[in-house]
Amino acid sequence: MPYRGECDENGTLMNGNGLVNGGQVYTVKQAFEDGGIKAGVSRAARLAYSVLSRRKAAEEGAARLARVLSALDLTALGVGSTLGVGVYVLAGDVAKNYAGPAVILSFLLAAVASVFAGLCYAEFGARVPKAGSAYVYSYVCVGEFIAFIIGWNLILEYIIGAASVVKALSEYLDSLLNKAISSYLQEVLPMDSPHLASYPDLFAFAVIMVFSVALAFGVKESSKFNNFCTGVNLCVVLFVIISGSFKADTKNWRIPASEVPQNTGKDFGTGGFAPYGLAGIIKGAAVCFYGFIGFDCVATAGEEARRPQKSIPFAVVASLLVVFLAYCGVSSVLTLMLPYYMQDEKAPFPFVYDRLGWSWAKYAVSVGAICALCSSLLGAVFPLPRIIYAMSSDGLLFRCMGRVSQRFQTPLVGTIVAGLFTGTLAMIFKLEQLIHMMSIGTLLAYSMVASCVLLLRYECSAASQRVAAPPLSVRGVLRPLAAVWAAPDPHAVPTRASAALVAALVSTYGVWCFIMMSSINKYGDAILRGEAGPTAMLVIGVVLVVFTLYAISRQPVSEKKLAFSVPLVPWLPGLSILINVYLMLNLDYMTWIRFAVWIAAGLLIYVTYGVWHSSERRRTQDSVQLTQFHDSQTALLNNGLQHTVG
């Protein structure tokens, strides 16, 4: 049975070497000899598209990893990986520099944006309960090439995330020990390089290897440790909220402009609840959004969850809710205890407790910070080998990386190799250099998952694909678009034309989002002043975005029933894409340069190894051989029948 993505529009089976029709391979060379340059180029383009768009079946085979994680384990994993050091740093930074006491609204906007992405992940977790997160989702829906790009970016994000957390943990403990670790290593093993750290952080390397070995030797045991660290972290957050409420003063939310410091070399706004205005709240939300990144590690545990169709959606939504409540409570008491312009950006709670005369309380906060860093580290290290395992199992990365231990039922080799690479980065680079490699890959993955939700919701069903249909044409694809304003038929089912139209509209929607968010990002102040040109550009972008989503909403919806479905499709996934595009446009150009270098390295691996060792390519070749065998057997039977009749 041929897989999706292995037939062209006329039903001709494809493999990695050419087109197969009736058991005969029609190569690019033969097309060139028959029809000249135009035919050869056309055949090469169709062949390249067939290779890059090879897709996996959504459900295939039994899980090779041990299904030991409950909904509570998954929720604790999501909370632990998301509610990390940000709860102890982010609230003070955003309150002082971006939003003031309105940091609560910034966290609310960031939480809503994260929930949009989380709901899309939840639907895919219920639809595709396999290890690999957005990589597998893209492989099932979009195709092999895009899936490789997404998976390669997720590897980068988890490596940098884990290295940053373990580096922060090392520096935090070093500061508690009065710089004893750094002083000794800098004296014994100095590194004189402007692009590297001043000393090799052997402690960070050792910690990351301990976590990697622990994960390699058992997921259930590691999840128990994570549950403990997450529990301690939540207890400390509750301690901060309860203890801070005794010193809360609502006057700190109503500071008049006359009391705001003016001659400090920094503008602290106009006082009140939102001293920096609406623009400050939105900028603060863009910063706060990164405090919610990490919940997607729940989706990487699809093969290790006991009931993935129900537990993954529950864990994603529950973890985001818990994290938002923690951020909201912490930021509220922080700004009520001390005026926003007096906050400390790097360590707000020890600073506040010192000002209040509660020096003993900062030690409790330190315990919570260490546990938070440990659970964040586990949340960053946990999904990395699962992504590598999924890509290696599919043949897109070296297969030895995906080898599963028979004893521990974990990707042993991939986990250890990922730990070595992550530990090396943490050992030789500065924390600032790691932090500056921001989450462009994560935001791209979020956008890709939201796009996949749109494509799958309006995809042509298997039953419709089996019905004979004429070849696709431009007129056939545009016919559903012309009927946008007509009353929709509630009994209509998706066709190849409507599915192709939705794919084109989703691609176009990404362009409109880029234009609209670019105008806001570049001309935001001019738009707020009401200047005609930038305002007209924004209005045109809004009209195009809304019309495109409306046109998608008028297309027939797939009749497939799911355990969990994203509500308000296509509006909610469309809004998620819009927010992600805006956040990506706010990243600095060095992030895009690093992103381009990483992508170039990945493309080299894909072109030289992944294309030729892909499991989907092998399945296609097996299908071709089966087709050739069937044709040969039919020919022998026909010859035998003719001989008998004769």
Give burial (CB, 10 Å; 0-12/13-18/19+) of 218. Answer: middle
Q: 209 and 59 in contact (C-beta within 8 Å)?
A: no
Of the segments 43-52, 135-144, 267-276, 463-472, which one has the largest average pLDDT value? 267-276
Average of pLDDT values for 516-522? 84
Banded model confidence at residue 299, pLDDT cuts 50, 70, 90: low
What pLDDT, in 10s, does the model give residues 303-317? Answer: 667 777 778 778 888
What pLDDT, in 10s, does the model give residues 218-258? Answer: 666 666 777 787 788 888 888 888 888 888 888 999 888 88
Lowest mean pLDDT segment, chosen from 183-192, 237-246, 326-335: 183-192
Average of pLDDT values for 285-300? 75
Q: 133 and 300 in contact (C-beta within 8 Å)?
A: yes
Q: Which residues pair with 69 in a beta bridge?
A: 305
**Which residues have C-beta within 8 Å of that of residue 208, sequence separation ≥ 6?**
162, 163, 166, 377, 381, 419, 422, 423, 426
Q: What is the pTM of this model?
A: 0.74
As a 3-state breakdown, the chain gives helix, strand, coil percent values, each rounded to 5, of 70, 0, 25
Look at residue 59 in the predicted model and tell me its pLDDT. 52
**Which residues have C-beta within 8 Å of that of residue 424, sequence separation ≥ 6?**
205
Which contiguous run of DSSP H or E holds residue 254?
Answer: none
Average of pLDDT values for 570-589? 85
For residues 334 and 322, give the distance between their C-alpha atoms in angstroms, rounded to a whole number: 18
- Cα distance between the two ends of the chain: 35
Banded model confidence at residue 166, pLDDT cuts 50, 70, 90: confident
Q: Sheet containing 24-26: which strands, arranged edge to edge?
A: 13-14, 19-21, 24-26
Which token pair is 372? Answer: 């938070």
Cis before 411? omega within 30 = no
Q: 157 and 135 in contact (C-beta within 8 Å)?
A: no
Q: Which of 117, 115, 93 is nearest to 103 (CA)?
A: 93
Backbone angles phi, psi at 21, to 5 degrees: -135, 110
Q: Report CA torsion sign: 225, 122, 2, 605.
A: negative
Which token pair is 580? Answer: 């992600």
